[in-house]
């Protein structure tokens, strides 16, 4: 029965744990991504000379490592989420499903 | 300075200016391919492309044998692995416009091109954190399955199908026109022939091979594109002893030389040369910048042909893996296009073989990567890259058509018209029929829009996806008080406001419709900041005001939906459709 199943799952403290942990983790990471990206955009809009300032003697500017850094950050933050979700969260979800379906 | 030289310098200046203007327009609009001049017929490229076509037709034949049910057709039976799906998503996302457009933008503006490509990447984590696994757990074939999960089916499906078809239409027109221009350019074929070939091949893939064939076309194309771009980037870095500083220094030198040949004082020339190392004219006002950034970031999470790919994997774990792989490959691809753009400055802009009398590129500004392919790999490699560019369009167009066809057959026909009582066979028939109709429409629109300035269409598709599809999807999955009425009214408000604001924005009102400069009512480059707000506020307002019996049912259904979206209990499995 779908409704019984739902009630059983909702009563499971592990389900509450999964829900709050995942949602907190997901929103924090999403916020981090937005801060980094929109921070970069605002930097471009308001402080172009900073991004165009040179690193050391050559022509390479500080904007280059920052820009490429954002690409690496985007991949890294996705990997962090996927790693935790695929181990910790999935294990929890499996336990919940087992508990509810037995 | 002798007389002929100064004339040439003037022409250089004019060409550089034209390039900059063109790049500015494509920045604002999403790197379209623009108008192109026809080139001599390139047989190397055509034979390489023919090999690709023959290969993919064999795959289609194999896929056709496996495509029996509606589930096979829509989702390849759910049997794609996370890695394969990640490759296919990357193949869907790395369009010809982003390959040629972004490398050309880097060649013209340097750092500005990087700002632009970052915008296309940052949506992926958002998709991962908030939507990917929930989509997989709740949905079956289309994103409407998720958006309508606990709501009254008919109105939400009608909205979702409209959102899908509108996004698909604009994206498809941009791709078809791009295909025609590109093929005219690369292969030396007539525009209409190119459009008919793309439409015809795409129909064959989708019609006979469904999602299985579409997926493999996308995977193969992604591999070819990444391999070709990697080779080009490697050759560029190799020639500079793998020192980015040496590459940048040479690029600055070349740009300074061009500026000084154009008659600038040494100081001005040096300033123009070094300007490629920092932000230039891409971001004019912060509102446009943020708004455009929002369209790119959240539009990715609302593109129906991308969302549909999450139903091809067996479970949430594979869905997450697929976005991670997609993000890795797409991020890597943008690093490559950045190197390719700088490579084009040093190898293409310095070689008279690739330049016309005015100092512009043969075939137009978007040819940067193509000429670089010739410079680093000779004629055979040029043919290879041209064939890959054609294959790229084909893969993107097939994915779009499949998603449009499923919106019609699964959402409108099976759920709305037949009230969920359609059998699989007739649903499959309708989706194949729709594929043919969409294919014909795409070819006709491609020909109709040949001479139109369609630069705004890709960014419009992203803006609509961000303002209509994404808010409805997010609110229906995460907000317990969301109701049918709120989702439908808010969704349509987001949809209409993004279309109307684009219509009265400078890119359409002034550039495409030819009204006088400064007459556009909406001054910003992208509507997303405003239309997304309208969409979200609309959903919220009409949901909390909703006191109907249906609303009570919608809210009561949230808990069961959440249990399934969080734990995957009851989710449709790999073969359990």
Question: Are B215 and B403 within 8 A, CB to CB?
Answer: no
- CA pair distance B94, B218, nearest whole angstrom: 10
Amino acid B268: pLDDT:
92
CB crowding A66-95: b at 16 or more within 10 Å, else e = bbbebbebbbebbeebbeebbeebbebbee
The answer to whether the CB atoms of A74 and B297 lie below 8 A apart is no
Inform me whether the pLDDT recorded for A2 exceeds 70. no
Give the pLDDT of residue B10: 39
In this predicted complex, what is the ipTM? Answer: 0.94
pLDDT for res A100? 79
Residue B413, both tokens = 């026909």
Residues B129, A29: C-beta atoms closer than 8 Å: yes
Residue B145 class from Cβ within 10 Å (0-12 exposed, 13-18 middle, 19+ buried)?
buried
Helix, strand or coil, per DSSP, at residue B342: helix
CB atoms B563 and A6 under 8 Å = yes
| Total CB pairs under 8 A between chain A and B | 165
Provide the pLDDT for residue A31: 95
Q: Are B279 and A48 in contact (CB under 8 A)?
A: yes
Q: How far is CA B172 from the centre of its chain?
A: 10
| Alpha-carbon B413 to chain mean position | 27
Which B residues, 228 through 247, put their C-beta within 8 Å of a C-beta on chain A? 244-245
Residues shown for chain A: 102
Show residues of chain A in contact with B316, CB under 8 Å.
Answer: 90, 93
What is the nearest CA distance from A72 to chain B, expressed in angstroms? 8
Question: Measured between CA atoms, how close is A16 to chain B, in angstroms?
Answer: 10
Q: Which residues of B111-140 are buried (b: 16+ CB within 10 A; e: fewer)?
A: bbbbbbbbbbbbbbbbbbbbbbbbbbbbbb
CB within 8 Å of B93: residues ≥ 6 apart: B120, B300, B306, B326, B330
**pLDDT number for residue B462:** 92
Collect contacts of A20-25 with beta carbons under 8 A, ≥24 apart: A21/A88, A21/A89, A21/A92, A22/A85, A22/A89, A22/B566, A25/A81, A25/A84
Nearby residues of B264 by Cβ (< 8 Å), 6 or more positions away? B272
For B496-534, write each residue's pLDDT tens digit. Answer: 999 999 889 888 888 878 888 888 888 888 899 999 999
Task: Calculate the alpha carbon distances from B295 to B98, B128, B185, B558 in Å.
Answer: 16, 17, 30, 28
Q: What is the pLDDT of residue B90?
A: 95
Query: In what helix (H) or strand (E) does residue B114 lie, and over which residues does it extend?
Result: helix B111-121
Cα–Cα distance for residue pair B49/B171, rounded to 1 Å: 23
pLDDT in tens, A3-16: 678 888 888 888 99
Nearest chain A alpha carbon to B286:
A45
Do residue A33 and residue B328 have CB atoms under 8 angstroms apart?
A: no
Q: What is the DSSP string of B206-252?
A: HHHHHHHHHHHHHHHHHHHHHHHHHHHHHHHHHHTTT-HHHHHHHHH
Are A67 and B317 in contact (CB < 8 Å)? no
How many angstroms separate the CA of residue B45 from the nearest CA in chain A?
A: 33
Whether B311 and B304 have beta carbons less than 8 Å apart is answered as no
Distance CA(B27)–CA(B98), nearest Å, equals: 11
According to the model, what pLDDT value does residue A79 have?
96
* Pick among 1.20.1730.10, 3.40.50.300, 2.60.40.1180, 1.20.1070.10: CATH of B3-39+71-179+225-567: 1.20.1730.10
How far apart are the CA of A19 and the nearest CA of chain B, in angstroms? 7
> Taking CB atoms and an 8 Å cutoff, what residues of chain A touch B562?
19
Q: DSSP per residue over A8-28, as a string?
A: HHHH-HHHHHHHHHHHHHHHH
Nearest CA to B168 out of B499, B566, B461, B428 is that of B461
pLDDT value for B164: 95
Where in chain B are the domains?
Answer: 3-39+71-179+225-567
Enter the DSSP assignment of B516: P
User: How many angstroms separate the Cα of B73 from the Cα of each of B68, B134, B437, B452?
Assistant: 7, 22, 17, 34
Please give the structure tokens belonging to residue B226. 């990444």
pLDDT at position B183, please? 81
Measured between alpha carbons, how far is B220 from B218 in angstroms, rounded to an integer? 6
Give the model's pLDDT for residue A56: 84
d(CA B224, CA B393): 13
Which tokens is B458 given?
A: 């890709």
d(CA B102, CA A56): 28
Residues on chain A touching B248 (C-beta within 8 angstroms): 58-60, 64
Among the partner residues B126, B293, B316, nearest to A38 by beta-carbon distance:
B293
Residue contact A2–B560, C-beta within 8 A: yes
CA B387 – CA B397 distance, rounded (Å):
16
According to the model, what pLDDT value does residue B574 have?
40
pLDDT at B13 (0 to 100): 40
DSSP character at residue B515:
P
Residue stretches of chain B with pLDDT short of 70 = 1-39, 282-283, 453-455, 572-577
B473: number of Cβ within 10 Å? 28
| Contacting residues for B127 by C-beta, under 8 A, at least 6 apart | B300, B301, B306, B323
Residues B327, A51: C-beta atoms closer than 8 Å: no
Chain A: residue whose CA lies nearest to B320: A82
Distances (CA, A) of B393 to A35, B99, B375: 34, 11, 24
Domain span at residue A94?
2-101
CB atoms within 10 A of CB B174: 29
Q: Which residues of A touch B333 (CB under 8 A)?
A: none
CB-CB neighbours of B500 under 10 Å? 14
Q: Write down the pLDDT at residue A10.
A: 85
Q: What is the pLDDT of residue A57?
A: 87
Task: Encode pLDDT of A17-65 as tens digits.
Answer: 998 999 999 999 999 999 999 999 989 888 889 999 998 888 999 999 9
What is the C-alpha to C-alpha distance for residues B186 and A13, in angstroms, rounded to an integer? 62
Cα B396 to Cα B305: distance, rounded to the nearest angstrom: 9
């Amino acid at each position: 029965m779908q409704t019984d199943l739902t009630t059983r799952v909702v009563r499971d403290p592990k389900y509450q744990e999964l829900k709050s942990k995942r949602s907190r983790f997901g929103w924090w990471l999403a916020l981090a991504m937005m801060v980094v990206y929109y921070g970069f955009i605002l930097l471009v809009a308001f402080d172009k000379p900073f991004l165009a300032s040179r690193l050391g003697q050559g022509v390479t500017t500080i904007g280059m490592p920052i820009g490429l850094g954002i690409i690496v950050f985007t991949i890294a933050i996705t990997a962090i989420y996927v790693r935790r979700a695929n181990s910790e969260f999935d294990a929890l979800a499996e336990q919940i499903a087992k508990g509810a379906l037995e | 300075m002798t007389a002929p030289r100064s004339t040439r310098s003037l022409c250089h200046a004019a060409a550089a200016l034209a390039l900059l203007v063109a790049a500015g327009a494509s920045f604002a609009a999403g790197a379209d391919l623009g108008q192109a001049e026809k080139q001599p017929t390139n047989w190397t490229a055509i034979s390489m492309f023919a090999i690709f076509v023959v290969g993919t037709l064999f795959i289609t034949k194999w896929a056709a044998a496996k495509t029996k049910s509606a589930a096979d057709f829509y989702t390849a039976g759910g049997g794609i692995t996370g890695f394969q799906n990640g490759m296919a998503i990357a193949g869907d996302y790395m369009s010809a416009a982003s390959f040629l457009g972004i490398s050309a933008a880097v060649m013209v503006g340097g750092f500005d091109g990087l700002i632009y490509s970052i915008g296309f990447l940052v949506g992926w984590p958002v998709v991962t954190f908030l939507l990917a696994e929930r989509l997989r757990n709740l949905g079956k074939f289309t994103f409407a399955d998720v958006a309508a999960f606990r709501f009254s089916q008919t109105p939400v499906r009608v909205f979702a199908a409209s959102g899908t078809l509108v996004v698909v239409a604009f994206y498809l027109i941009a791709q078809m026109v791009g295909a025609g221009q590109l093929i005219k350019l690369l292969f030396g074929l007539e525009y209409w022939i190119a459009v008919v070939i793309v439409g015809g091949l795409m129909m064959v893939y989708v019609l006979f091979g469904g999602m299985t064939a579409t997926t493999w076309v996308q995977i193969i194309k992604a591999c070819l594109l990444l391999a070709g771009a990697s080779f080009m980037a490697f050759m560029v870095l190799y020639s500079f002893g793998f020192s980015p500083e040496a590459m940048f220094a040479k690029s600055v030198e070349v740009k300074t030389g061009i500026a000084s040949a154009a008659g600038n004082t040494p100081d001005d020339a040096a300033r123009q040369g070094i300007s490629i190392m920092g932000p230039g004219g891409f971001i004019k006002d912060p509102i446009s910048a943020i708004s455009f950034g929002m369209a790119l970031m959240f539009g990715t999470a609302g593109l129906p042909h991308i969302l549909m790919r999450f139903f091809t994997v067996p479970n949430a774990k594979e869905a997450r893996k697929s976005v991670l792989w997609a993000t890795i490959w797409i991020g890597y691809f943008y690093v490559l296009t950045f190197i390719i753009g700088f490579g084009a400055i040093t190898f293409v802009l310095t070689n008279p073989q690739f330049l016309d009398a005015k100092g512009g590129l043969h075939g137009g500004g978007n040819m940067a990567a193509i000429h670089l392919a010739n410079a680093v790999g000779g004629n055979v490699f040029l043919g290879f890259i041209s064939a890959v560019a054609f294959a790229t369009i084909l893969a993107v167009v097939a994915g779009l058509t499949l998603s449009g066809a499923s919106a019609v057959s699964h959402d409108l026909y099976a759920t709305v018209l037949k009230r969920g009582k359609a059998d699989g066979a007739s649903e499959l028939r309708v989706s194949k029929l729709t594929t043919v109709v969409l294919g014909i429409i795409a070819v006709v629109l491609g020909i109709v829009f040949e001479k139109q300035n369609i630069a705004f269409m890709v960014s419009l598709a992203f803006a609509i996806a961000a303002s209509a599809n994404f808010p409805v999807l997010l609110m229906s999955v995460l907000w317990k008080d969301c109701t049918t009425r709120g989702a439908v009214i808010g969704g349509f408000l987001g949809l209409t406001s993004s279309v109307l604001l684009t219509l009265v924005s400078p890119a359409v009102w002034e550039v495409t419709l030819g009204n006088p400069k400064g007459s556009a009512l909406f001054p910003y480059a992208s509507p997303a900041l405003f239309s997304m707000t309208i969409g979200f506020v609309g959903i919220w307002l009409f949901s909390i005001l909703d006191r109907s019996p249906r609303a009570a049912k919608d809210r009561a259904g949230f808990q069961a939906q959440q249990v399934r979206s969080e734990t995957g209990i009851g989710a449709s499995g790999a073969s359990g459709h």
